[in-house]
Chain A
């Protein structure tokens, strides 16, 4: 009686430890290894192993083994008949010597014999075989009692749950990875579509072909220089690509006019920010404010822009970035009625309008980006690709930029009294 009590306490202790082990944060390998120890140690079993079942490969793969010898196969393949029997058996231990009618025990007879295995416990959880436990002789030399089998069954259930949990986690990870890939593909599709849109917009204006794409790239460069997160930089680029989408509704003859357009034509053209907003609003963009950038990219800090005459802080920040990039491209590309302006003149213009039309810190960011490339600090020649080698290698451009940077105010001046009515 005392002996039974002692054994009961010992095996229940093992069960409690097994429950704890299955629930902790250890690696799967470690959990199964410890679980095997607990099964063997609870009943004084000399040797054994735990395998995980792969329904895809139809095989048991050993995860933890003790004392089975180096020759014991690490993968065991049951046939269909075996699998059916294991499922029907559930968690009931099978005596290997009595199960030799099954092909599985015939095929691996020698291995089981050499390892002196006596029991196999299929681990069936939620009507699915997830693994198996293989058990050798008890140290006492006695056969397994009904009490022993019940303990083994209970422990097998815990271990089966641990394996099932691991399988679930692996499946979740696989699906999450699939979703990540899908998401990346969708983002790529979105970006490619945006670029195609930008190309379509630019096609309408034969004299400024490539304008939307360049503005998108300038926005990207300015945002990078400001140290924005990758997603925000991408958002700025998209805002740049799509800023003139409203021009798709403007007559070609107005957009392609080889002369300065009149007031009526100008009013027509000036509708494009609002139209662009209406086109972009219904689309669910992965980046915020893309429609607002289209609507307000012609606003100025001093309130003299259009369509709404907004002042500095009222203007969405992304629209300020697009405004600068848009103006910079306009000044540095040829138009039907004028050539592009020399670099020194452009930098001077930007500096003079810093705080009036453009946010000063954005102008500084643009100058910094240009200077880093001109000085050789930046390895990638992104501005050069957009502006042309000749433009970037113009004499004296570096000192001009350095001077401009030191003179550009770092904060947006608030000076409402200076506004003209």
Chain B
């Protein structure tokens, strides 16, 4: 299960790539990346789910934490290229109420 995080550190917008399985290990990495971008002044945080097949409960909790942190910093969060299954999960759990979810 690879987890590759890349980001384009522009001032306003940052893109973080989620791995193929968003669980605790990979989720922690993503949370760290997101916090760094937000602390650096990012106002729009994009998490790229193009390679992500599964998001488990820990992953959901971490994403909610990212949303919370972004909201406190006045930044918006976008989850891009989300697969159907994950999009449905975000809808059920209310994640899509707090972040823009773009399906792939």
Contact = CB atoms under 8 A, between A and B. Distances in A.
Contacts of A11: 57
Interface string A25-43: 0000000001011101111
B19 interface: no
B77 to A, nearest CB: 12
Contacts of A47: 64, 68
A145 interface: no
B94 A37 contact: no
Given A6-B92, A34-B24, A37-B24, A44 B56 contact: no
A41 B61 contact: yes
A37 B64 CA distance: 10
B73 to A, nearest CB: 13
A352 interface: no
Given A6-B89, A43-B93, A44-B95, A13 B56 contact: yes
Contacts of B32: none
B64 A41 contact: yes
Interface of B: 24, 27, 56-62, 64-65, 68, 88-89, 92-95, 97-98
Nearest to B54: A13
A139 B89 CA distance: 12
Contacts of B24: 34, 37
A25 to B, nearest CB: 15
B58 A139 contact: no
Contacts of A66: 61, 65
A88 to B, nearest CB: 30
A38 B58 contact: yes
Contacts of B57: 10-11, 13-14, 17, 37-38, 40-42
Contacts of A10: 57, 89, 92-93
A7 interface: yes
B53 to A, nearest CB: 14
Contacts of A46: 64, 68
A141 B93 CA distance: 10
Contacts of B92: 3, 6-7, 10, 44
B104 to A, nearest CB: 18
B55 to A, nearest CB: 9
8 contacts: A10-B57, A10-B92, A11-B57, A13-B57, A17-B58, A34-B24, A41-B93, A140-B97
Nearest to A40: B61
A46 B27 CA distance: 16
B97 A38 contact: no
Interface in A41-77: 41-47, 66-67
A395 B62 CA distance: 80
A138 interface: yes
Contacts of A37: 24, 27, 57-58, 61-62
Contacts of B68: 46-47, 67
B83 to A, nearest CB: 13
B97 A139 contact: yes
The residue among B56, B61, B88, B89 with the most chain A CB atoms within 10 A of its own CB is B61
B41 to A, nearest CB: 21
The residue among B89, B92, B97 with the most chain A CB atoms within 10 A of its own CB is B92
Given A37-B57, A42-B60, 7 more contacts: A14-B57, A34-B58, A37-B62, A38-B61, A43-B93, A44-B60, A47-B64
B103 to A, nearest CB: 16
Contacts of B89: 6, 10
Contacts of A43: 93
B99 to A, nearest CB: 10
B94 A41 contact: no
Contact of A139 (B56, B62, B94): B94
A219 to B, nearest CB: 58
Given A10-B89, A17-B58, A34-B58, A44 B94 contact: yes
